[in-house]
Amino acid sequence: MQIVCTNAASQRQQNPLNGSLCNIEIMCTNFTSTKKSDWVKANFNVDLPEQEYPTDVFPSYPSPIVLQSHTTGRVACGLARFGLIPKWAKDDKISRHTYNARTETVKEKPSYRQAWKSRQYGLVLLDSFYEPCYETGKSVKTRIQLESGLPFAIACLWDKWTQPQTGEIVVSFSMLTVNADAHPVMNRFHKAGDEKRTPVVVPESKYSDWLAATQSNAADLIASMADLKEIQLVVGS
């Protein structure tokens, strides 16, 4: 799997985490959701949601994810909010801090442990995501995508939360991340001295395995997917 890294420094965008115009400094807070229905149909035999959703996604924005029922095996694709809201949350403000989940601690963290225990594993469908690169000495927003230009999937945890005032059921998700300190490409992102992290990119050959994962094999499966040495970056202009 090859990934293209494209300079997007000129694309300053509204960051809903602080309401100000800024470059994205923390991982991974911004990605582009896919609208390539043929690719989704070919890989999952499902359709993208009919509802409108943004291409450029930040925390609290809706984006398509793929889930699988552990009872019937049925695969479905629907919109979910970026930033996991656990069932016990009193409001949705917690989602500002739960868009990424560290795989090393996901089983113990209160926000994620029930979703992990319940095998609520999903796939985020996207065309690219953004990270800050500091090779020039300044933060340069950088787009990361497959060299082929095709969409891809990132492993996630999802949960359902009921809005107390309205009774609305909100499905939300958090991208799973792994350490990338030793990766020759992904360790180029973020500030010098900071731990390097990367979302878990799932190979097409393991889509079904991840969606049907159990508590006993999920961690091992992530470990096998976390070996990003097969992912080669080409830096574009």
Q: Which is more confident, 185 or 38? A: 38
Q: What is the pLDDT of residue 195?
A: 74
Say how many Å lie between the first and final Cα of the chain, rounded.
20
3-state secondary structure 83-152: CCCCCCCCCCHHHHCCCEEECCCCCCCCCCHHHHHCCCEEEEEEEEEEEEECCCCCCEEEEEEECCCCCE
Q: What is the pLDDT of residue 235?
A: 41
Mean pLDDT of the chain: 84
What confidence tens digit (pLDDT) does each residue in 169-203 have? 999 999 999 887 777 666 667 666 777 788 898 98
Q: What is the pLDDT of residue 145?
A: 84
Q: What is the pLDDT of residue 25?
A: 38
Which domains does the chain possess? 2-13+21-236 (3.90.1680.10)
Give φ, ψ of 78 to 5 degrees: -150, 175
What confidence tens digit (pLDDT) does each residue in 84-104 have? 999 999 999 999 999 999 999
